[in-house]
Amino acid sequence: MAKDKKLVEAITSMDVDFAQWYTDVVKKAELIDYSSVKGCMVIKPDGYAIWENIQKELDKRFKETGVQNVYMPMFIPESLLQKEKDHVEGFAPEVAWVTHGGLEPLQERMCVRPTSETLFCDFYARDIHSYRDLPKLYNQWCSVVRWEKTTRPFLRSREFLWQEGHTAHATAEEAEERTIQMLNLYADFCEQVLAMPVIRGRKTDKEKFAGAEATYTIEALMHDGKALQSGTSHNFGDGFAKAFNIQFSDKDNKLKYVHQTSWGMTTRLIGAIIMVHGDNNGLVLPPAIAPVQVVIVPVQQQKAGVLDKAYELKNQLSGFRVKVDDTDKSPGWKFSESEMRGIPVRVEIGPRDIENGQAVLVRRDTHEKTTVALAELDVKVDELLKDIQRNLLEKARSHRDAHTYTAVTMEEFAKTIEEKPGFVKAMWCGCQECEDKIKELTGATSRCMPFAQEQLSDKCVCCGKPATKMVYWGKAY
């Protein structure tokens, strides 16, 4: 039994040290390994399989809205990066520079893309001529590089995987509509697939993307009360179009600038799944995204008929992603391991179960055990997976709501942030001085101005002047 417990004992309790708990889960659930390249990670099969499920589901939703996938070069010549002033200021300090090709120095150095607005704009300037060419609704799946100083697996790494959508439209209205459409698509995806509730809103000017007119965001609350920006959607207006000269002749035969958007989600979402649903036994995966939804653990598998029955049950469950753990480890070890890996449902089947025509189902989220007749197994598993998906969302929403506070004075604000990790809702006058001051006094940043506004008071929590917006504040990853 000592050996069986080892896998679990090695995890730090999340209440003792949340950061260490996170690192332990990421490693012990075999999602990643560190690499010889500082700040870059190896995404192992179980981590990558989650990303594949995220990709598959997002990609399907993108395509339903008319988006097409493309692929742009991974390099950006320095002169191209510099074309849009705010953009280069935002990104140049954190890019990786290629200076040599083979044995020769390059005539112009190139950066590895930190994001691809400049490449898409360069392409659109050549490819868009007429209103008939619009809208362009392009997306690409790729990796990007940002030379961060401090890194953490999935949350902040020098290279990460993502998708970046880049669209061009004939009118400002259409661009705004697409920006909001994609934000809502992201939010629905998080709630329906990742079982993760999010706050939808707009970033303040201070927090918006380099070069954007408006940045919209979805913000989630992690188990430790810190916020995680989980997806963003930007409206560029015609700023990039003017910098890159992307014009089209409209129906009225006039030359006009296009209006553009971009939107992205990253492997950071895997970090979010871990920190929203995980517990002291390890990872807890929402069934919709779990690479393995059901693990079948044969008990006393050396006895005649047990392994055969386990494979038979796998066939019966062919509508789900199922694995039989037929390794030579002990059942106790397998139970711990399946919990560590976050597999939503465990089926235990031993000689006595077979005799009684039943199996034991254990759900990962509540640890609840039920005994079911084998004939009903597929129906019960289906019900259980749906219930786990629903329960995870509900649990996360309750946790989020229970850790969302309001403050009408700075004293209240500071005390809440200090004592009760979570979101703080507070009114704001709209000026950056107050935003800066709040950060200085409390460590909290503005997360977003939610679409669902509330009138908590009519004064700015910081300066007392008339408030224009209710803002979600919080400490963030």
Interface positions with its own copies (CB under 8 A) = 33, 35-37, 40-45, 48-49, 51-52, 68-77, 80, 93-103, 110, 112, 119, 122-123, 126-127, 138, 142-143, 145, 147, 158-159, 161
Cβ proximity to its own copies: between 70 and 375 the closer is 70
Residue 48 or 477 having the CB closest to its own copies: 48
Residue spans of alpha helices (H) in 405-455: 410-419, 432-442
Burial code (b: 16+ CB inside 10 Å, e: under 16) for 343-377 equals: bbbbbbbbbebbeeebbbbbbbbeeeeeebebeeb
**What is the bridge-based pairing of β-strands 404-406 and 423-428?**
parallel
How far is residue 238's CA from residue 263's CA, in Å, rounded to a whole number?
16
Smallest separation (angstroms) from its own copies to the CB of 96: 5
In eight-state DSSP terms, residue 305 is T
Q: Are 97 and 110 in contact (CB under 8 A)?
A: yes
- Residue 199, strand partner residues: 219
Q: Cα(146)–Cα(162) distance, rounded to whole angstroms?
A: 13
Shortest CB 163 distance to its own copies, Å: 13
As measured in angstroms, the least distance from the Cβ of 214 to its own copies is 27
Cα atoms in the Cβ-side hemisphere of radius 13 Å centred on 272: 27
- Give the nearer residue to its own copies in terms of CB position, either 119 or 288: 119
The CB-of-97 to its own copies minimum distance in angstroms stands at: 4
Q: Least distance (Å) from its own copies to the CB of residue 375?
A: 30
Report the nearest approach of its own copies to the CB of residue 3 (Å).
14
Cα–Cα dist 171/104, whole Å: 45
Q: What is the largest CA-CA distance in the chain?
A: 81
23 or 280: whose CB is closer to its own copies? Answer: 23
Least distance between its own copies and beta carbon 149 (Å): 9
To its own copies, the closest distance from the beta carbon of 39 in angstroms equals 9
Does residue 64 sit in helix, strand or coil? helix
Q: Check: CB of residue 456 under 8 Å from CB of residue 471.
A: no
Question: Virtual CA dihedral for 12, 14, 18, 21, nearest 10 degrees?
Answer: 40
CB 343 within 8 A of CB 322: no
Which of 23/184 has CB closer to its own copies?
A: 23
Instruction: Closer to its own copies by CB, 41 or 392: give it.
Output: 41
Q: Compare residues 100 and 454 and give the one whose CB is closer to its own copies.
A: 100
Check if the beta carbon of residue 470 is closer than 8 Å to that of residue 460.
no
Choice between 126 and 254, CB closer to its own copies: 126
